[in-house]
Structure 1
Amino acid sequence: MRFITLLLSVMLVFSTTQLSAATETKDGSEAPGTMAYYELSPSIVVNVKGREKYIRCDVQLMTRDETRLPAISLHAPALRHELILLLSDQQGAEIRTTKGKEKLRKVALKSLQAVMKNLVGDETIDELFFTTYLVQ
């Protein structure tokens, strides 16, 4: 039992995937930086409006500054809460289409940026990606 607990703890620590890369500044020049990803887990499953019954999705949040990961991790419950409320207010038929998915992604990103701005004074999150997306 202790082994399983230890294994789950290690998996939780390593569930954040980091990627080093160069970022582009506003003037178009390359500036050194490190991008990092944070996985909101477990999967988000909520009921939606309309004929479709629910959505299940996995979400990865990207920041262009890996030093922001602790803030994202700390406020992950608030971010999940915001996504749950947002997703449960969607019409299932609309979010099944490619355009609907992209529109939802952009709205979700803005919502999570607003949450982070309110909590830490900075938008912190630069991109949001659905890595699994199922509407039924």
Structure 2
Amino acid sequence: MISYRSIAVQIAPGDVVAMLESSPRPAAIRFEPVGEPDPAAPWRKVGKATQLVAAETGIGVAEIVGDRRYQRLVRARAAVAWVARKTSDRTLHQIARALGRTDHTTVRQMLRKAEQLRAADPAFRAMTDRVADFVSAGVAS
């Protein structure tokens, strides 16, 4: 779908090139995706990462987004933050909100923790890589 001013026309990609080449000057063309965008789509990767880390660790999703600070929960949150950052275009603040946190600095600390754990613990590295691969490939959707 191509919109030019108030006119919307469905044309093939090859037609755009022909139209631009035949035009004496480039037209102001705005490309828009066909169909309605899904407003929840950006959050799916963060949610799927949380679900997959919960399944991998045996910890409930409610515990991961909860307030407790047990070491196993901190590790799970760090894994979710790392996977969410690597596989989505969400900001630190948005990831924090998805994890029930109020501040982006919490996620920044989680990312530091995840990098430390990935360097020191091969099992943690393998788990985060596996979850990131599933989320990136869309297998988890």
TM-score, normalised by the number of residues in structure 1: 0.26
Larger-gyration structure (1/2): 2
TM-score by length of 2: 0.26
**Larger relative contact order (Cα-Cα within 8 Å, sequence gap ≥ 6):** 1
